Amino acid sequence: PISDPNTGALYYMNSGDIWTVGYDGEGARAMTTGGGISSLGLSDDGNSLTFLRNGTLNVLNLRANNFPTVAVTFRADWLRDV
């Protein structure tokens, strides 16, 4: 589990989804559905969780209602030196 330094909540993975529970073990609830989640991490500022869902990096906003999740995409533009 990962501990939130701002709220004391714990975040953990169960059956491929992210769950949260209070530090006292009360109020467990799913934050995601659909499975496929791995590599759970907490951002340095404690405001979001990062995770992989089916190989794609995602960020979950812990401070917004309903924990919105955004898939992170990368694009590399480069020119070849000749």
- Give pLDDT tens digits for 34-54: 999 999 999 999 999 999 999
pTM reported for the whole predicted model: 0.82
pLDDT (tens digit per residue) in 4-43:
988 899 999 999 999 999 989 999 999 999 999 999 999 9
CA distances from 71 to 12, 29, 38, 57, 61 (A): 19, 22, 14, 6, 12
Residue 3 has pLDDT above 90, yes or no: yes
pLDDT of residue 70: 93
Q: What is the pLDDT of residue 75?
A: 76
